[in-house]
Amino acid sequence: MDLKNNFLKKRFVTAPSWRFFWLLFILFIVVFGIFFVSLVSYGYSFKDRVLPGLNIGQVPIGGMEKDQLKFFLDNMNDKLINDGLSFSYNINGKEENLIIYPLAGAVDGGSELTYIDVEKEVERLINWGKEAGMIKLSLVVIRLKIKPVVIYIKNVMVDEDRLLDSLKSAVDKNQIAPHDANIKIETITPLKYKITSSTVGIVYDFEGLADKVIKSWSKLEPTQFEIDKHEEYPNVLTDDVLLMENRLPAIFDDGGLQLTYIDPYNSQEYDWLIDQNKIKDWLQVQKNVGVDLLGGGIVFGLEKENVIAFLNENVASKINVEAKNAKFEISETGRVLEFQGSRPGVKLDVEKVYKDINEAFIERTWHDEVVSKSVQLTVDKVEPLTKTGDVNDFGIKEILGVGVSDYSRSPINRIRNIKNAVNKLNGVLIAPGGIFSTIEYTKPFTIAGGYLPELVIKGDEVKPEIGGGLCQIGTTLFRMAMNSAMEIVERRNHSLVVFHYNDPVNGNPGTDATVYDPAPDFKFRNDTDNYVLIQTYMDENDEFLYFTLWGTNDGRKGTFSHPLVQRWIPHGDLKIIETTKLELGKENCQSAFLGADASFTYTRIFSSGEKEETIFESHYRPLPKICLVGVEEKKECEEGDTECIFNIEQIVSSTETLDL
């Protein structure tokens, strides 16, 4: 009996403790579940937003949605471009300021030499830290809330060559280049000459400035850099030249140098003579580190600049033959007819030829035996982009799509440039899988290539720039490719809203494509199983372009919606640039441009029924009216100065265009 009572008492005491344990366990599971779900939900809430706690430099961007982030970066990009790139440099102990405005090629809608690729950057920032699963993402979000992280813009684009050209053109006049000691020949018979002394130069350091611009813009900070300068010593000293005097007669004893070339197509022989008078004018004492001879590598050669100019002006014109692409016509029945067969081109290798010529004179410097008296010219073979084949097996049967654009009210040189490019593109054939490049098929953008200049504002000058009108070509090709359901490989909108490129139906910007050598380019891929053919037509009465793509329809269909403008951006106040390079009081002005954000949808529907949609978003930056105004040159002289310093504000742009 006692045992039974003890058992019941024990059971009565312990039963509630087990129940309590299970209640606590269940409560823990519920609380943990709620916490876990809340954690995952919180992390998931940032799926399409920038993670919290992220800062670009000192600017917080955490929590921004895609549209907000794009709006923010577009505005920051516009501000950085409008503010320009600021540099300072020292002249005679006085600091001068220089501003480079990054917009280039506004003659045709604009292409910046420095800009943020906003589209790529938005994708990168939205996806930053989201590579792992949702649980890990949630933990990252919490960590960022506790301890914010500073990141930087990665997609800052700089055209370094054009930036350095702008810098050098602005400050070169203030540099003193080092001069090598040299021999100046006065007469050959009798041989008379003078030795010119070497001088130390003062030059500016441009190396690394492009990287500094990228670093500054990556933090969304304006640029303000000093261009340093240093002494640069000559390669050839006066004592070096004195060692060479006794070798000078040998240079002329062997006479001139013959250049020879045999045309591989017709076996015709050509020759040119670098006679003794040219040698007299072009002779140069050089330091050749590859020559380990008496004199420490000091040799006689010819000035490169003069030789290259001679080759380009007198030799290349006889030798160079432009490669011809195969081109084809379409008959009324849709049959492909060949009207231009392909042919490889030939181009003089100017750098190699100069090297060979110079080495011939280096040989004369130290050798008394028989030396070279002639040089065989070196040429490169240039293959055509499209070669002739069996034209009737290309499968060109029907029209795939047509692109249209309006070039009315264009200046005469722009019209001629468009016509030149239209002729180059007519009949171009693209193989299956091939990528068409607008630049490749319309270059070279030179006067020899058939293009004419237009006037543009460059800093405080009005200068001609060759090739205006190429963006009309890119825009028409873009519309043709979309109406033909081609894969768009590369397209970038213009920086400015230009009426030539507005949609032909609703007049809004958005369906344009800019072209500016060497970039950006417009490219599309022929992703059909057959060749496609471009046929161009320029309606000179109504001033419209019509580009037609022929091929074999595989059941696909391409369309694009008319662009919608999400916002128009005011252009701001008039900007005046004073210059001494215009007559006093004279004005040259460029029109203002409204900015805009626009978008449209490109749709491809394939024979399988598969549908592919691509949204093209375009940001056009505002640009105020810009006027150059001629002013007097101002002199600033301090008492006791023997030389006045001219203090003119230098504002250099890599092109802001004149609306003529």
Return the pLDDT at 42.
55
Q: Considering the domain boundaries, does residue 487 fall inside one? A: no
pLDDT for the residue numbered 425:
93
Output 337 or 212, whichever has higher pLDDT: 212
| Rg of the chain taking only CA atoms, in angstroms | 34
Identify whether 299 is part of a domain: yes
Distance CA 583, CA 358 (A): 46
List the beta strands (DSSP E) in 531-649: 532-539, 544-551, 557-560, 564-569, 575-579, 587-590, 595-605, 611-620, 626-630, 635-636, 645-646
Checking if the pLDDT of 657 tops 50, the result is: no
Helix (H) or strand (E) holding 23: helix 2-44
Token look-up 């002006």 returns: 313
Average pLDDT over the chain, rounded to whole?
83
Q: Is residue 375 part of a domain?
A: yes
| Per-residue pLDDT tens over the stretch 172-215 | 778 888 999 999 999 998 989 999 999 999 889 988 999 999 99
Query: What average pLDDT does this structure show over 467-486?
Result: 93
Could you tell me the two tokens for 387?
């070669």
- Percentage helix, strand, coil for the chain under 3-state DSSP, each rounded to 5: 30, 30, 35
* Assigned domain for 207 exists: no
**Residue in 641, 658, 529, 642 with CA at minimum distance from that of residue 589:** 658
Residue-wise pLDDT for 54-94, tens only, equals 899 888 998 899 999 999 999 999 989 888 899 988 887 78
Domain of residue 316: give its range: 234-382
Instruction: Count the Cβ atoms, other than its own, within 10 Å of residue 132.
Output: 11
Mean pLDDT for 226-231 is: 89
pTM: 0.73
Q: pLDDT at position 566, please?
A: 94
Is residue 367 domain-resident? yes
1 exposure class (CB count in 10 Å sphere: 0-12, 13-18, 19+): exposed
Adjacent-strand bridge partners of 185: 193
Give the domain CATH number at 364: 3.10.20.800
Backbone angles phi, psi at 415, to 5 degrees: -60, -40
Q: Residue 577: beta bridge partners?
A: 628
Alpha helices in 45-90 (DSSP H): 66-83
- For position 16, what pLDDT does the model report? 57
Of 122, 121, 84, 86, residue with least CA distance to 103: 84
Single out the residue of 601, 598, 600, 602 nearest to residue 566, CA to CA: 598
Asked if residue 474 is part of any domain, the answer here is no
| pLDDT for 52 beyond 90 | no
Q: Is residue 465 part of a domain?
A: no
pLDDT at site 294: 46
Q: Which helix (H) or strand (E) holds 204?
A: strand 201-204
Report if residue 246 sits inside a domain: yes
Q: Are residues 411 and 465 in contact, defined by beta-carbon separation less than 8 angstroms?
A: no
In contact, 457 and 658? CB cutoff 8 Å: yes
Report the number of distinct structural domains present in the chain: 1
State the pairing for strand pair 114-116/156-158: antiparallel
Contact in structure between 481 and 429 (CB atoms under 8 Å)? no
